[in-house]
Amino acid sequence: MRCTAQLCFYKRYCDYVFGNETEAKIFSKVRGWETESIEEIALKISALPKASGTRKRVTVITQGADPVVVAEDGKVTLFPVILLPKEKLVDTNGAGDSFVGGFLSQLVKEKSIVDCVKAGNYAANVVIQRSGCIFPEKPDFQ
């Protein structure tokens, strides 16, 4: 999981934890949670203790073509991804990192989680339509 899971969970400093469904299931297994439900795993990760009580942890798990799972404040929200015809899918390398970059681009602007996920989905969608992690010269994200 991004935000280097070992560092974040043992040091307990991460406000936002990102991962994909495979990483989430492995993390659940290692922790002995005995569940493969992405929504349940996201809730459990967001509820792990933090060193600072100033903010609650938000967990964001991507699932390829399936909805993005966001857990915060004991609730899970599912966000649909941008549907892409199979013939436009070129290369998924960098999709997760692109999602995180898009998400964080709006988080630093203090946008809502909805806007953050929208930007993450946009960035990942653009990257998977190209060979290698390449962005167009002029992105059109609103």
How far is C-alpha 129 from the geometric centre of its chain's CA atoms? 19
118/136 same-domain check:
yes
12/76 same-domain check:
yes
61/12 same-domain check:
yes
Is pLDDT above 90 for 131?
A: no
Which uninterrupted H or E stretch holds 47? helix 38-47
pLDDT tens-digit series, residues 42-68: 999 999 888 877 788 999 999 999 999
How far is C-alpha 66 from the geometric centre of its chain's CA atoms? 12
Contact 26, 32 (CB under 8 A): no
pLDDT tens-digit series, residues 69-103: 999 999 999 999 999 999 999 998 889 999 999 99
Contact 62, 96 (CB under 8 A): yes
Quote the pTM value. 0.86
Cα dihedral 32/36/20/29 (nearest 10): 20
Is pLDDT above 80 for 12?
A: no
Residue 68 sits in which domain range? 1-80
Contact 78, 67 (CB under 8 A): yes
What is the band of 6 on the pLDDT scale with cuts at 50, 70, 90?
A: very low
Q: In what order do the strands lie in the sheet with 66-72?
A: 16-20, 58-63, 66-72, 75-79
Q: Residue 133 has what pLDDT? A: 67
Domain end among 26, 59, 80: 80
pLDDT tens-digit series, residues 15-41: 899 999 999 999 999 999 999 999 999
108/137 same-domain check:
yes
111/76 same-domain check:
no
Domain count for the chain: 2
Residue position matching structure tokens 């991507």 = 62
Domain end among 30, 49, 80: 80
34/61 same-domain check:
yes
Q: Residue 138 has what pLDDT? A: 78
3/63 same-domain check:
yes
Q: Residue 4 has what pLDDT? A: 43
Beta bridge mates, 34? none
d(CA 45, CA 73): 11
Enumerate the active-site residues.
97
140/90 same-domain check:
yes
53/25 same-domain check:
yes
10/76 same-domain check:
yes
73/100 same-domain check:
no
